[in-house]
């Protein structure tokens, strides 16, 4: 049988949380939505959304607040705004005067040839 430990030799456990690492994913999830909005690139906006969700899910629970750091939910909102910005033409289509005039000429041509 193993000898029993003496009570005065037992050291209580104290949890020391690990230091936060600098994560490149956080930098990308902050800057990619802005690039997607500037370029109106749908693929970049979806990538920004998925990266921000991943950044949110990988965020440690007991993380200390840093100065100037965005909350992860704000990154998700920013990425959603980027997706909506890229698809705004579907919701509010623009009318180009040149295209409108070309459509009017085409309609007049079709009407005149049909009659």
| 49 φ, ψ (degrees, to nearest 5) | -65, -45
What pLDDT is stored for residue 21 in this prediction? 67
What pLDDT is stored for residue 81 in this prediction? 94
Residue 112 scores a pLDDT above 70: yes
**pTM to 2 decimals?**
0.62
- 63-83, pLDDT tens digit by residue? 666 666 677 889 899 999 999
Average of per-residue pLDDT across 74-93 = 90
Q: Which residue has the higher pLDDT, 110 or 6?
A: 110
């Amino acid at each position: 049988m193993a000898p029993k430990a003496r009570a005065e030799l037992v050291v209580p456990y104290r949890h020391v949380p690990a230091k936060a690492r600098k994560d490149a994913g956080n930098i990308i999830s902050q800057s990619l939505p802005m690039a997607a909005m500037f370029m109106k690139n749908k693929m970049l906006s979806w990538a920004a959304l998925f990266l921000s969700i991943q950044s949110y899910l990988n965020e440690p629970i007991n993380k200390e607040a840093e100065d100037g750091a965005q909350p992860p939910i704000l990154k998700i909102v920013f990425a959603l705004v980027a997706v909506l910005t890229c698809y705004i033409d579907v919701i509010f289509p623009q009318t180009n005067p040149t295209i409108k005039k070309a459509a009017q000429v085409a309609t007049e041509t079709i009407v005149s040839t049909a009659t």
